[in-house]
Structure 1
Amino acid sequence: MTPTDDPKRWLEQQGIREVECLVPDVNGVLRGKTLLTAKFLKSLEDRAFYLPSSAFLVCIDGRYSGSNDEGFAYQDPDMRMVPDVATLCLAPGAGAEKAYVFADAFHMDDRPWMASPRHVLRAVLDLYHQRGWRAVVAPELEFYLTAPNPDPDRPLIAPVGRNGRSETVQHPYDMAALEEFEPVIRRLYDYAATAGLPLDTLIHESGTAQLEINFLHGDALPLADKVLLFKRMTRQAAQQYGMHATFMAKPIAAQAGSSMHLHMSVVDEAGNTLFAGRDDADTEMFGHFIGGLQKYIPVRDLLGEDFVQTYLRVKSVEVDLFQSVVTSWERDHLLLKV
C-alpha cells in the first residue's frame, strides 16, 4: 500500500504519531509545521491548515526581505497549505514515529501561491506536458563533511576519520579516503532507503572530506523534493557521528567549491529521447536547447547565484579549476557550464 492509496491506513501501519509538513522556499530551506497525525488527517478533510505568507519572505540569513506591497507585508495574510499525500514518506533521521510530507501553498480562493517554488516548477513542467513532452533529470550533489564548528568566525576544517586523523590534502576518487567516512555513508544510505530516495553512486570529490552523490534519473518535481530531503538527512546522519555536513557553495576558501550538477533530457509520451535521432546524432531540438541555455544561464545566475558564498565560488576559478564560468558548450568538458 502507498500513502496515496489510503493515507490514514498507511500512517497507522507505520506507527506515525507526527507529520512534518514541509514547505520549500526559494532558497531551498524547508519551512512548515509539525502536526500530530490526527490533526494532519483532519486537515486533509477540512483543509484548515494555514501558514503565514511571510514564510516566503525570509532571506537565507533568517531576516525578512520585506515586500513591494507594504500593506501586504504588514498584514501577513495566511496561506492555505494543501499536503501532497503522494510525497508522504518515513522520516528516519528525525526520530521514531515521524513522517515527512510536502505541502503546496494556495490563496484562500484556491489560486496557487506563485512564490512557492513547487508551483513554479509545476507550471514549467505543464508547458512540457502541453507539447506531449516529459522532462527527465538526474541531480548530482556535492557537499562537505566538517568537524563541529561552534564559532562561526573560525574556518571549517575536515572531521576526524576512522583512522583518527583529519584529511589535509585532496583525495579525489580515492576509495580509501572515502572509506574513512563509511559509518556516515552507511547511515545516510539507510536513511535514504527508508525514505525512498533514489540514490545511485557516491565518490570522494576534490576537497578534503568533500563527497558527491548521484541520483537516478526521474521526473523533476519528485526529485526536487527528494534532493531537499537528502540534504536534511545528510546533516542528520553526520550529526549522529559527531560531524556536520554543509552544501554551501564555498565553505572552505582554499578548497574546491560545491555545486549541484543537473543531467537533463526530454522524452516524448513513448519515452523516446528528443535530443538524439535514431543514428544517435544531435537533433535540431537539442541545438535549440543548448542555445537557450547559453542565452538564459547568465540571467538565471542572477537569481540562483545571489549569495555571497556562491559569488566566492564563481570568483575562485584560480583555486577551483572545476568551477564553470563559461557558457560555451562542448561534450565532456567540465570547465563549461553547458
Structure 2
Amino acid sequence: MRIASSILTVTMTGDYPDLPSGIDQAIQDPDCVLLPDPSSIRVAPGYRTPTAFVMTDAFTKDGEPIEVAPRQVLTKIMNLYAEKGWVPIIAPELEFFLTARNIDPDLPLESPIGRSGRAETVSQPYGLEALNEHEDLIEQVYEYCEIADIDIDTMIHEAGAAQLEVNFNHGNPMQLADQVLVFKRIFRQVSLMNGVYGTFMAKPMDNQPGSAMHIHQSLQDAKTGNNLFAEPNGEDSWMFRSFIAGLQKFLPECAPLFAPNVNSFRRMRPQYDAPINVQWGRDNRSCGLRVPLSDGQNRRVENRLPGADCNPYLAIAASLACGYVGMQMGLEPSEPCTGSAYRLPRSLPRTLDEALERFNACGPVREVLGEEFCQIFASVKELELDHFEGVVSAWEREHLLLKV
C-alpha cells in the first residue's frame, strides 16, 4: 500500500506545516510504502462487513524506514534496548470519560444519563453503583475487546463523573501501543452505538479531573528474564536508579510527546491529582514517578505524566528513551519523596508553548529519537498552537467583553 508521506505531518485541524529546510519531504511529498505487520492483525468487531485491524510500518520506495512515523520511532528505541540485551516491559493504564452527545463545541460537555435516569454529579472512585450506570456499554466494550484480542485486565470507575479506567496486562511496548490505539477506536465506536460520546481528551470538563495514560515500566534481561531493576537480594539496582534519574532529568524537556495538545496542560494541576513535577516516591501518587510496592522480580516505575490524549507510540518511546539515556549516562536520581510532591516546586511546563521551547533544546533525547522526527513533530505542534492562539474563547467573551 502506498500513501503520500505528508500524511505524517498533518495537524489536528487538517493543515500542513512549513517543514524545516533540508527536509526533502517538504517539497517532494513522495509516496511512502506501508508494509503490514502480520503480528498486529486482529478482528475489528462491530462492522457489518467482516473487517480486520492491521498496523503498518512506513518505508521509502527504497525500503528505508521513515523515521518520523510513530511506530518507527518506538521501534528505534526498542532496538537500542535490544542491542544491550535488555527487554523493556510496559503496562498502560488508560483513563477516559463518557459524556452526553454534544454537537456544539461552544457548549460545555455534560455527563451522560445512566440507566437510573440520572447523570453523575459527584466523585465516585471505584464506585460499583456508578460503574453499573453504564453496564451495558461496558459489557459491550469487554466483548469487543475479547473479539479484537485486546488484553485488558480490569476496568474501574475513576474519580470523575462517568470517568473510567482500563488496565492493560504488561507486555511488549509495541504490542501494548497497538492495543491502546485499537481500544480507543473500539471505545469511541461502542459509545456512539449507545448514544453517548467516549473521549480521551486530557481535560474535557472544567470541574472534573483529567484523564491520564500512566505507563508502568520495567526491564528484563533478554537471556535470563530476570528483572534488571532489582538486585538478586531485592534491592534497587543501579539500572533502576539511573532509569528513574533519566526520567527526572529529561521528561520535563520531552513534554510534547506525552502532553501533545494545548488541552493537555489543563490536566496537570494538583487539585485533580495530576503531577506537576518529576519527584519519585514509593507508593506515592502525588509524585510524577511512582514506584509501586513490590518484590524484586516485579520492581517497576509508573510514569504518571502522560495524558490520555497522547500518541501511545510516542509517549512510550519518549519514556523509554529518557530512561535509556539516564542509564547510558549513569545518572543518579534525587532522594525519594516521602511527603506530598505537590508541596515541591513545579518542574513541568505549564503550556504547550513552553513545552515546545524546552523540547527544541533537549539534545540528548532528540539524538536517540531522531532529529528529523523531532523537527517535524515540533513544526506540527507549533502550527496547531498558532491556530489555537487565534481563537477567542468563551472565557474572554464572558469576562472581558463589557469590563475592559
Provide TM-score, normalisation by structure 2: 0.69
Shift of 1:151: 0.5
In structure 2, the partner of 1:276 is 230
Shift of 1:180: 0.7
In structure 2, the partner of 1:241 is 194
SS in 2 for 1:150: coil
Contact map agreement 2:5 2:25 (CA 8 A) in 1: no
Deviations 1:210-241 (A, max 9, x none): 00000000000011011000000000111111
Shift of 1:245: 0.4
SS in 2 for 1:301: helix
* 1-structure distance, mates of 2:37, 2:24: 31
Match among 2, 12, 29 for residue 60 of structure 1: 12
* 2-structure distance, mates of 1:239, 1:133: 42
* 2-structure distance, mates of 1:215, 1:236: 19
Contact map agreement 2:153 2:169 (CA 8 A) in 1: yes
Contact map agreement 1:140 1:260 (CA 8 A) in 2: yes
In structure 2, the partner of 1:42 is none
Cα distance change of structure 1 residues 125 and 176 upon mapping to structure 2, 3 Å threshold:
same
In structure 1, the partner of 2:275 is 324
Match among 265, 272, 284 for residue 333 of structure 1: 284
SS in 2 for 1:191: helix
Shift of 1:75: 3.0
Contact map agreement 1:326 1:335 (CA 8 A) in 2: no
The yes-or-no answer on 1:256 pairing with 2:248 is: no
The yes-or-no answer on 1:136 pairing with 2:116 is: no
Question: Greater relative contact order: 1 or 2 (C-alpha under 8 angstroms, separation 6 or more)?
Answer: 2
Shift of 1:331: 0.6
SS in 2 for 1:82: strand
* 2-structure distance, mates of 1:78, 1:237: 34
Deviations 1:129-148 (A, max 9, x none): 11111000000000000110
* 2-structure distance, mates of 1:251, 1:327: 24
Contact map agreement 1:57 1:66 (CA 8 A) in 2: no
The yes-or-no answer on 1:288 pairing with 2:242 is: yes
* 1-structure distance, mates of 2:125, 2:13: 32
Contact map agreement 1:147 1:243 (CA 8 A) in 2: yes
In structure 2, the partner of 1:117 is 70
* 2-structure distance, mates of 1:68, 1:210: 40
Contact map agreement 1:202 1:213 (CA 8 A) in 2: yes
Shift of 1:72: 3.3
In structure 2, the partner of 1:313 is 267
SS in 2 for 1:223: helix
Structure 1 runs (4+) deviating above 4 angstroms are none
In structure 1, the partner of 2:160 is 207
Contact map agreement 1:143 1:212 (CA 8 A) in 2: yes
Aligned letter for 2:274? Q
Deviations 1:20-52 (A, max 9, x none): xxxxxxxxxxxxxxxxxxxxxxxxxxxxx2010
In structure 2, the partner of 1:223 is 176
* 2-structure distance, mates of 1:139, 1:285: 21
Shift of 1:169: 1.1
Shift of 1:64: 1.8
* 1-structure distance, mates of 2:47, 2:177: 20
State the identity as a percent: 43
Q: Which moved more, 1:115-124 or 1:91-100?
A: 91-100
SS in 2 for 1:218: coil
Shift of 1:313: 1.4
SS in 2 for 1:265: strand
In structure 1, the partner of 2:131 is 178
Q: Counting helix residues as a fraction of each chain, which structure ranks higher?
A: 2
Shift of 1:71: 6.2
Q: Which moved more, 1:178-187 or 1:88-97?
A: 88-97
Q: Which moved more, 1:259-268 or 1:79-88?
A: 79-88
In structure 2, the partner of 1:37 is none
Provide TM-score, normalisation by structure 1: 0.82
* 1-structure distance, mates of 2:39, 2:218: 24
Aligned letter for 2:180? V
* 2-structure distance, mates of 1:244, 1:94: 18
Shift of 1:312: 1.4
Aligned letter for 1:307? N
Aligned letter for 2:62? D
- Cα RMSD (Å) of the superposition? 1.3
Aligned letter for 1:246? T
